[in-house]
Homo-oligomer: A and B are copies of this chain.
Amino acid sequence: MRIDRQRLEESFTQLGKIGETLRGGLTRLALSDEDKRARDQMAAWMKAAGLRVSVDQMGSIFGERPGTEPLPPVMMGSHVDSVPTGGKYDGQLGVLCALEAIRTLNDQRARTRHPVTLAIFTNEEGARFQPAMIASGVMAGKIALEDAYNARDKDGIRLGDELERIGYLGPDPCVPRPIRAYLELHIEQGPRLEEEGRSVGVVEGIVAIAWSRLTFTGVQDHAGPTPMRIRHDALLAAAGTVRAVRAIPARVSPEMVATVGRLDVSPNITNAIPGRVVMSVDIRDPKDENVTRALALLEGAVKDAAASEGVGYELEHYWRVPLTPFHPEVVGAVEGAARSLGVRYRRILSGAGHDAQYMAAICPAGMIFVPSRNGRSHCEEEFTPMDDIEHGANTLLGAVLELAG
């Protein structure tokens, strides 16, 4: 049984028009008008494929294809929201490969013992509302529903109000439920598959991640008449920390990454010495103990940077997840499907968080990666060759058939 490459490509082209940027990328922030239109399109396709479509309290959309027995479903999922000026592959490729797998089951009039469900999770990116993966987090019981509703975007708009506004505040409880297995196809977002010429990554788990928020408080002053000798410039301390963060991985682990992605200066005008800088630090490694060592190095670097400029600081380690191993049975089903298709694959860890991470807390979960050209993602240049997408989608279909019986 093989997916229909042309149909998949046509759906990909069509969905990609919703929120398309001038340079061929995607801006489709969670619960925006563009997100609503993409959801509406997906729901229409799901209904046309004969699925029973429902929406839960977090706005996640589920479409179920019945099985022959009253058993928990095999769920395939991903998301249709994007980062600002992101790409067309992150998220929606997983949703469309899952839809294509179901359409193929329909074409073949295939019967499975377990139902097969397509899931579209709300606000995976965390670009508009924090934290990321908020809907699967609520489903897994890791985030309170009220906290999720009260998440606000940078304009102060509540997630709960936006769900209602776009018509996706659903009735179904967003709680753990029996699920046979959860499978997510996603772009790698790193360079390894492409570098090694492989079409498929059999994902064994997700690396440990720590997010910190750092605030330096100096003395805001006029850039003209304030002599260098009396300055306490928050941006100087921040700049020292940006460089220190870059140096941390080399001191800890070859697989570690460390990033300052966000940095906001106040008052942020040309002729004022910055009085305040708020910045993010993102540290990831396969080993949790390496993350712990890196956070200790970060604390030392921040202390030094603040002391050398005479500014105050606050460092909050506000989010941390250990290595998430995927379920051996699901990883095995993915590997078996790839092997029997004869595609070039490798086992791999995910450096990025995905809804599969929360789903792994409530059911056997696994992921399938396809290559990212030049390792690029979260940018308009995201690209995966159609040959690799076809191999990935067939691997997904094979794994689902194996798990759904």
Contact = CB atoms under 8 A, between A and B. Distances in A.
Total identical chains = 2
A123 to B, nearest CB: 13
Interface string A246-260: 100110000011111
Interface residues of A, number: 67
Nearest to A319: B270
A50 interface: no
Contacts of A274: 260-261, 263
A208 to B, nearest CB: 11
Interface in A272-323: 272-275, 280, 282, 284
Q: Is the interface of A mostly helix, strand, loop or mixed?
A: loop
A267 B84 contact: yes
Contacts of A1: none
B375 A85 contact: no
A158 B304 CA distance: 44
Given A257-B227, A271-B132, A221 B376 contact: yes
B226 A351 contact: yes
A267 B224 contact: no
8 contacts: A84-B269, A85-B267, A127-B267, A224-B351, A225-B372, A226-B375, A271-B378, A272-B378
Given A223-B257, A223-B282, 14 more contacts: A83-B269, A219-B379, A221-B376, A228-B257, A233-B246, A235-B260, A243-B243, A261-B265, A262-B269, A263-B268, A270-B282, A271-B282, A271-B353, A275-B379
